[in-house]
Amino acid sequence: MPTFRRIRKIASALAVGVTVLGAVVFGGQSASAATVTYKSQCSTVIGGLWYYDFLLTMDAPATVSRGQTVTVNIGMELINALPGPRAAHTTGISLDVILGGANTGTATSTVMWNPEIPAGTPLRFQGGTVQFTLPNAGSVTYRPSKFTWGFTEGGAGLCRPRDGFPAPVAATTQVLAGTPAAAADSVSAYWFCSTGFYGWPETFWVTVNAPATARVGDTITVTGSVMGTIERPGPRSAGGYVGRLDLEAGGATAGPVAITGMTSPAASGNDPYGLVGGSGQIALNTAGAVTFAPKRATWAVATNTSYGWTCTNSGNGAVAATTQVLPR
Protein backbone atom coordinates (compact mmCIF):
# COMPACT_ATOMS: atom_id res chain seq x y z
CA MET A 1 0.00 0.00 0.00
CA PRO A 2 1.55 3.36 -0.98
CA THR A 3 2.03 6.22 1.45
CA PHE A 4 0.88 9.68 0.49
CA ARG A 5 4.40 10.77 -0.44
CA ARG A 6 5.10 7.72 -2.59
CA ILE A 7 2.22 8.49 -4.94
CA ARG A 8 3.73 10.58 -7.74
CA LYS A 9 2.12 13.76 -8.99
CA ILE A 10 -0.18 12.49 -11.73
CA ALA A 11 -3.35 14.58 -11.45
CA SER A 12 -2.91 16.06 -14.91
CA ALA A 13 -2.78 12.58 -16.42
CA LEU A 14 -6.06 11.45 -14.88
CA ALA A 15 -8.55 12.13 -17.65
CA VAL A 16 -11.53 11.38 -15.48
CA GLY A 17 -13.71 14.43 -15.97
CA VAL A 18 -13.46 15.53 -12.34
CA THR A 19 -11.05 17.71 -10.43
CA VAL A 20 -9.53 17.70 -6.99
CA LEU A 21 -9.27 21.45 -6.88
CA GLY A 22 -12.43 23.02 -6.30
CA ALA A 23 -19.83 24.73 -4.95
CA VAL A 24 -29.27 25.29 -0.35
CA VAL A 25 -32.03 23.63 0.41
CA PHE A 26 -34.67 25.74 -1.30
CA GLY A 27 -37.82 25.28 0.69
CA GLY A 28 -37.41 21.71 1.84
CA GLN A 29 -37.27 19.85 5.13
CA SER A 30 -33.91 18.27 5.78
CA ALA A 31 -33.54 14.65 6.78
CA SER A 32 -31.07 13.38 9.34
CA ALA A 33 -27.75 12.46 7.81
CA ALA A 34 -27.46 8.90 6.51
CA THR A 35 -24.14 7.04 6.82
CA VAL A 36 -23.26 4.06 4.62
CA THR A 37 -20.15 1.98 3.95
CA TYR A 38 -18.62 2.72 0.57
CA LYS A 39 -16.09 0.14 -0.65
CA SER A 40 -13.75 1.53 -3.30
CA GLN A 41 -10.83 0.43 -5.43
CA CYS A 42 -8.19 2.98 -6.35
CA SER A 43 -5.43 3.22 -8.91
CA THR A 44 -2.96 5.61 -10.48
CA VAL A 45 -1.68 5.88 -14.03
CA ILE A 46 1.63 4.39 -12.89
CA GLY A 47 -0.16 1.17 -11.91
CA GLY A 48 -1.23 -0.57 -8.73
CA LEU A 49 -4.61 -1.28 -7.19
CA TRP A 50 -5.61 -0.53 -3.61
CA TYR A 51 -8.83 -1.11 -1.68
CA TYR A 52 -10.17 1.52 0.70
CA ASP A 53 -13.38 1.45 2.76
CA PHE A 54 -15.12 4.68 3.72
CA LEU A 55 -17.94 5.68 6.00
CA LEU A 56 -19.81 8.07 3.74
CA THR A 57 -22.43 10.53 4.98
CA MET A 58 -24.91 12.40 2.80
CA ASP A 59 -27.38 14.88 4.27
CA ALA A 60 -30.20 15.68 1.84
CA PRO A 61 -33.68 17.23 2.20
CA ALA A 62 -36.38 14.74 3.10
CA THR A 63 -38.97 16.56 0.97
CA VAL A 64 -38.91 19.37 -1.58
CA SER A 65 -41.31 20.65 -4.20
CA ARG A 66 -40.95 20.03 -7.89
CA GLY A 67 -38.56 22.45 -9.60
CA GLN A 68 -36.49 23.19 -6.55
CA THR A 69 -32.70 23.00 -6.31
CA VAL A 70 -31.33 20.97 -3.42
CA THR A 71 -27.93 20.90 -1.78
CA VAL A 72 -26.54 17.60 -0.49
CA ASN A 73 -23.82 17.82 2.17
CA ILE A 74 -21.13 15.13 2.04
CA GLY A 75 -18.47 13.78 4.41
CA MET A 76 -16.18 10.72 4.22
CA GLU A 77 -14.02 8.82 6.70
CA LEU A 78 -11.40 6.25 5.73
CA ILE A 79 -11.83 3.26 8.03
CA ASN A 80 -9.32 0.61 6.94
CA ALA A 81 -6.04 2.40 6.19
CA LEU A 82 -3.83 5.47 6.41
CA PRO A 83 -4.37 6.76 9.96
CA GLY A 84 -2.95 10.11 11.10
CA PRO A 85 -1.14 12.22 11.97
CA ARG A 86 -1.88 14.53 9.09
CA ALA A 87 -1.95 18.31 8.93
CA ALA A 88 -5.24 19.99 8.05
CA HIS A 89 -6.12 20.81 4.46
CA THR A 90 -3.43 18.62 2.91
CA THR A 91 -5.61 15.92 1.33
CA GLY A 92 -8.71 16.54 -0.78
CA ILE A 93 -11.43 14.40 -2.32
CA SER A 94 -13.92 15.33 -5.04
CA LEU A 95 -16.80 12.86 -5.40
CA ASP A 96 -19.21 12.22 -8.26
CA VAL A 97 -22.79 11.72 -7.04
CA ILE A 98 -25.36 9.86 -9.15
CA LEU A 99 -28.98 10.98 -8.95
CA GLY A 100 -31.54 8.24 -9.60
CA GLY A 101 -35.27 7.66 -9.56
CA ALA A 102 -37.72 10.34 -10.70
CA ASN A 103 -34.82 12.60 -11.66
CA THR A 104 -31.46 11.46 -13.00
CA GLY A 105 -28.03 12.94 -13.50
CA THR A 106 -24.49 13.14 -12.16
CA ALA A 107 -22.76 16.05 -10.45
CA THR A 108 -19.31 16.52 -8.94
CA SER A 109 -18.98 17.72 -5.37
CA THR A 110 -16.95 20.59 -4.14
CA VAL A 111 -13.65 19.45 -2.70
CA MET A 112 -13.72 17.81 0.74
CA TRP A 113 -10.59 18.58 2.77
CA ASN A 114 -9.25 16.79 5.79
CA PRO A 115 -9.21 18.52 9.17
CA GLU A 116 -6.15 18.02 11.39
CA ILE A 117 -5.85 14.27 12.02
CA PRO A 118 -4.15 13.18 15.27
CA ALA A 119 -1.86 10.15 15.29
CA GLY A 120 -3.65 6.81 15.06
CA THR A 121 -7.06 8.25 14.11
CA PRO A 122 -8.82 7.71 10.77
CA LEU A 123 -8.37 10.14 7.92
CA ARG A 124 -11.64 11.96 7.27
CA PHE A 125 -12.89 14.57 4.83
CA GLN A 126 -15.57 17.18 5.29
CA GLY A 127 -17.28 20.15 3.68
CA GLY A 128 -18.35 18.64 0.36
CA THR A 129 -21.56 19.78 -1.32
CA VAL A 130 -23.34 18.92 -4.55
CA GLN A 131 -26.49 20.44 -6.06
CA PHE A 132 -29.30 19.07 -8.22
CA THR A 133 -32.42 20.68 -9.67
CA LEU A 134 -35.42 18.33 -9.41
CA PRO A 135 -38.10 19.04 -12.05
CA ASN A 136 -40.02 15.74 -11.72
CA ALA A 137 -42.20 14.59 -8.83
CA GLY A 138 -41.35 11.29 -7.15
CA SER A 139 -38.59 9.71 -5.07
CA VAL A 140 -34.95 10.37 -5.92
CA THR A 141 -31.82 8.66 -4.59
CA TYR A 142 -28.20 9.74 -4.22
CA ARG A 143 -25.33 7.27 -4.70
CA PRO A 144 -21.57 7.81 -4.60
CA SER A 145 -19.66 7.14 -7.80
CA LYS A 146 -16.02 7.64 -8.77
CA PHE A 147 -13.83 10.16 -7.01
CA THR A 148 -10.37 11.62 -7.24
CA TRP A 149 -8.15 12.46 -4.34
CA GLY A 150 -5.01 14.50 -4.31
CA PHE A 151 -2.35 15.71 -1.91
CA THR A 152 -0.92 19.18 -1.53
CA GLU A 153 2.62 17.77 -1.52
CA GLY A 154 1.96 16.09 -4.87
CA GLY A 155 0.19 12.96 -6.05
CA ALA A 156 -3.33 11.90 -6.97
CA GLY A 157 -5.44 8.82 -7.51
CA LEU A 158 -8.69 7.74 -9.09
CA CYS A 159 -11.17 5.56 -7.20
CA ARG A 160 -14.49 3.94 -8.07
CA PRO A 161 -16.93 1.50 -6.45
CA ARG A 162 -15.21 -1.84 -5.85
CA ASP A 163 -16.02 -4.70 -8.18
CA GLY A 164 -18.76 -6.82 -6.61
CA PHE A 165 -19.82 -4.06 -4.19
CA PRO A 166 -22.32 -1.70 -5.88
CA ALA A 167 -22.39 1.81 -4.47
CA PRO A 168 -25.14 2.06 -1.83
CA VAL A 169 -27.95 4.59 -1.72
CA ALA A 170 -26.75 7.19 0.78
CA ALA A 171 -29.80 9.48 0.91
CA THR A 172 -33.26 9.98 -0.60
CA THR A 173 -35.55 12.94 -1.27
CA GLN A 174 -39.26 12.90 -1.97
CA VAL A 175 -40.10 15.48 -4.66
CA LEU A 176 -43.68 16.71 -4.24
CA ALA A 177 -45.88 17.73 -7.14
CA GLY A 178 -47.17 20.91 -5.54
CA THR A 179 -45.63 24.33 -5.39
CA PRO A 180 -43.04 25.03 -2.68
CA ALA A 181 -44.38 25.63 0.80
CA ALA A 182 -43.65 29.27 1.48
CA ALA A 183 -44.39 31.95 4.00
CA ALA A 184 -44.81 35.01 1.81
CA ASP A 185 -46.67 38.26 2.16
CA SER A 186 -46.70 41.68 0.56
CA VAL A 187 -46.22 44.51 3.00
CA SER A 188 -46.37 48.25 2.61
CA ALA A 189 -43.11 50.09 3.27
CA TYR A 190 -42.96 53.87 3.54
CA TRP A 191 -39.36 54.71 2.64
CA PHE A 192 -37.35 57.82 1.96
CA CYS A 193 -35.37 57.70 -1.30
CA SER A 194 -32.29 59.70 -2.17
CA THR A 195 -29.92 60.19 -5.08
CA GLY A 196 -27.22 62.79 -4.77
CA PHE A 197 -28.75 65.93 -3.26
CA TYR A 198 -32.31 65.00 -4.23
CA GLY A 199 -34.74 62.94 -2.17
CA TRP A 200 -38.39 61.98 -1.95
CA PRO A 201 -40.73 59.78 0.14
CA GLU A 202 -42.51 56.88 -1.49
CA THR A 203 -44.62 53.92 -0.47
CA PHE A 204 -43.46 50.54 -1.78
CA TRP A 205 -45.08 47.13 -1.91
CA VAL A 206 -42.48 44.54 -0.90
CA THR A 207 -42.95 40.78 -1.23
CA VAL A 208 -40.64 38.29 0.49
CA ASN A 209 -40.72 34.54 -0.20
CA ALA A 210 -39.15 32.13 2.29
CA PRO A 211 -39.72 28.45 3.16
CA ALA A 212 -42.51 27.95 5.66
CA THR A 213 -40.39 25.39 7.54
CA ALA A 214 -36.74 24.36 7.69
CA ARG A 215 -34.47 22.32 9.96
CA VAL A 216 -31.68 23.48 12.22
CA GLY A 217 -28.53 23.64 10.12
CA ASP A 218 -30.32 24.31 6.82
CA THR A 219 -29.31 27.14 4.54
CA ILE A 220 -32.44 28.54 2.92
CA THR A 221 -32.92 30.77 -0.09
CA VAL A 222 -35.06 33.90 0.15
CA THR A 223 -36.48 35.74 -2.85
CA GLY A 224 -38.60 38.85 -3.21
CA SER A 225 -39.79 41.79 -5.25
CA VAL A 226 -40.24 45.54 -4.80
CA MET A 227 -42.72 47.84 -6.54
CA GLY A 228 -43.12 51.59 -5.99
CA THR A 229 -46.33 53.61 -6.16
CA ILE A 230 -45.23 56.78 -7.97
CA GLU A 231 -45.84 56.82 -11.71
CA ARG A 232 -42.66 57.02 -13.82
CA PRO A 233 -42.13 57.73 -17.52
CA GLY A 234 -42.39 54.71 -19.80
CA PRO A 235 -42.21 52.43 -21.57
CA ARG A 236 -39.01 50.87 -20.20
CA SER A 237 -37.40 47.61 -21.26
CA ALA A 238 -36.63 44.89 -18.72
CA GLY A 239 -33.20 44.98 -17.12
CA GLY A 240 -32.59 48.71 -17.46
CA TYR A 241 -31.84 48.82 -13.74
CA VAL A 242 -30.17 46.36 -11.40
CA GLY A 243 -30.54 46.30 -7.66
CA ARG A 244 -30.94 44.54 -4.35
CA LEU A 245 -33.38 44.22 -1.49
CA ASP A 246 -31.96 44.20 2.03
CA LEU A 247 -33.88 42.36 4.72
CA GLU A 248 -33.46 42.10 8.46
CA ALA A 249 -33.87 38.61 9.93
CA GLY A 250 -35.13 38.46 13.49
CA GLY A 251 -36.17 35.91 16.07
CA ALA A 252 -34.29 32.63 16.47
CA THR A 253 -31.70 33.76 13.90
CA ALA A 254 -30.99 37.47 13.52
CA GLY A 255 -28.95 39.42 11.01
CA PRO A 256 -28.96 40.97 7.54
CA VAL A 257 -30.05 39.09 4.42
CA ALA A 258 -29.36 40.59 0.99
CA ILE A 259 -31.42 39.57 -2.05
CA THR A 260 -28.99 40.38 -4.85
CA GLY A 261 -29.09 39.97 -8.61
CA MET A 262 -32.43 41.76 -8.96
CA THR A 263 -33.41 43.62 -12.14
CA SER A 264 -36.16 45.99 -13.17
CA PRO A 265 -39.17 44.47 -14.97
CA ALA A 266 -40.45 45.68 -18.31
CA ALA A 267 -42.70 48.71 -17.86
CA SER A 268 -45.34 50.35 -20.01
CA GLY A 269 -47.06 53.69 -19.70
CA ASN A 270 -46.50 55.19 -16.27
CA ASP A 271 -45.56 52.08 -14.29
CA PRO A 272 -43.60 52.72 -11.06
CA TYR A 273 -40.03 51.55 -10.63
CA GLY A 274 -39.67 47.97 -9.38
CA LEU A 275 -37.22 45.13 -8.85
CA VAL A 276 -37.73 41.38 -9.38
CA GLY A 277 -35.64 38.20 -9.46
CA GLY A 278 -32.47 37.53 -7.52
CA SER A 279 -32.05 35.60 -4.30
CA GLY A 280 -30.34 35.63 -0.93
CA GLN A 281 -29.38 32.96 1.59
CA ILE A 282 -29.21 32.59 5.34
CA ALA A 283 -28.06 29.72 7.56
CA LEU A 284 -30.54 28.77 10.28
CA ASN A 285 -28.68 27.32 13.25
CA THR A 286 -31.26 27.78 16.02
CA ALA A 287 -34.74 26.31 16.38
CA GLY A 288 -37.65 28.74 16.50
CA ALA A 289 -39.39 31.31 14.31
CA VAL A 290 -37.29 33.50 12.03
CA THR A 291 -38.91 36.62 10.58
CA PHE A 292 -37.88 38.63 7.52
CA ALA A 293 -38.60 42.36 7.32
CA PRO A 294 -37.69 44.60 4.37
CA LYS A 295 -35.16 47.26 5.29
CA ARG A 296 -33.84 48.88 2.12
CA ALA A 297 -33.94 48.70 -1.69
CA THR A 298 -31.30 49.97 -4.10
CA TRP A 299 -31.50 50.68 -7.84
CA ALA A 300 -28.57 51.34 -10.19
CA VAL A 301 -28.42 52.00 -13.92
CA ALA A 302 -27.43 48.68 -15.51
CA THR A 303 -25.00 50.27 -17.95
CA ASN A 304 -23.37 52.46 -15.30
CA THR A 305 -23.92 51.27 -11.75
CA SER A 306 -22.36 54.41 -10.24
CA TYR A 307 -25.71 56.10 -10.96
CA GLY A 308 -28.75 55.13 -8.94
CA TRP A 309 -30.72 55.66 -5.75
CA THR A 310 -31.50 54.00 -2.42
CA CYS A 311 -34.79 53.84 -0.52
CA THR A 312 -34.82 52.93 3.16
CA ASN A 313 -36.78 53.25 6.38
CA SER A 314 -35.59 54.73 9.65
CA GLY A 315 -37.17 52.14 11.92
CA ASN A 316 -38.21 48.51 11.96
CA GLY A 317 -40.07 47.33 8.87
CA ALA A 318 -43.15 45.13 8.81
CA VAL A 319 -42.56 41.37 8.82
CA ALA A 320 -43.07 40.05 5.30
CA ALA A 321 -42.31 36.32 5.83
CA THR A 322 -41.67 33.85 8.63
CA THR A 323 -39.84 30.52 8.62
CA GLN A 324 -40.35 28.04 11.43
CA VAL A 325 -37.02 26.31 12.13
CA LEU A 326 -37.54 22.80 13.51
CA PRO A 327 -35.02 20.72 15.46
CA ARG A 328 -33.01 18.31 13.32
Residues 102 and 250 grouped into a single domain? no
Q: What is the pLDDT of residue 179?
A: 44
Clarify whether residues 132 and 268 are in a common domain: no
The pLDDT score that the predictor gives to residue 267 is 86
- Among residues 136, 151, 176, the one where a domain terminates is 176
Residues 136 and 15 in one domain: yes
pLDDT of residue 82: 67
Residue 184: per-residue pLDDT = 57
95 & 168 share domain: yes
pLDDT score for 5 = 32
Q: Are residues 267 and 168 in the same domain?
A: no
Q: Which of 71, 84, 79 is nearest to 35 (CA)?
A: 79
Residue 313 CB contacts under 8 Å (≥ 6 apart), including other chains:
189, 190, 191, 192, 295, 296
Nearest residue to 187 via CA among 87, 313, 59: 313
Provide DSSP, 59-87: E-EEEEETTEEEEEEEEEEE-SS----B-
Residues 84 and 190 in one domain: no
For the chain, how many structural domains are there in total? 2
Last residue of a domain, one of 144, 176, 208: 176
Q: Both 126 and 8 in a single domain? A: yes
- On whether both 115 and 148 belong to a single domain, the answer is yes
Q: Residue 251 in 3-state DSSP?
A: strand
- Series of mean pLDDT values for 10-residue runs along the chain (328 residues): 32 29 34 75 81 91 81 89 81 93 92 89 89 86 92 84 92 72 69 91 90 89 91 88 95 95 88 91 93 94 94 80 86
Residue 243, domain extent = 185-326
Same domain, 171 and 31: yes
15 and 159 co-located in one domain: yes
At residue 2, the pLDDT reads 34
Q: How far apart are the first and last CA of the chain?
A: 40
Task: Kindly report the number of other CB atoms within 10 A of residue 135's CB atom.
Answer: 10
Which segments of 162-197 are extended strands (E)?
Answer: 171-176, 185-195
Identify the domain boundary among 129, 154, 176: 176
Q: What is the pLDDT of residues 93-140, one digit of tens each?
A: 999 999 999 889 999 999 999 899 888 888 889 988 999 988 888 889
Integer angstrom CA distances of residue 148 from 137, 210, 238, 248: 32, 37, 44, 41
Same domain for 219 and 154, yes or no, is no
Which pLDDT score, from 0 to 100, does residue 259 have? 96
Are 12 and 157 in a shared domain?
yes
In CATH, what number is assigned to the domain containing residue 274? 2.60.40.2270
CA distance 17 to 50: 21
Quick one: pLDDT at residue 10?
Answer: 29
Interval 12-54: pLDDT, tens: 333 222 222 222 333 344 443 568 999 999 887 677 888 989 9
Would residue 229 be called left, alpha or beta, if left means φ above 0 and alpha means ψ between -120 and 50 degrees?
A: alpha
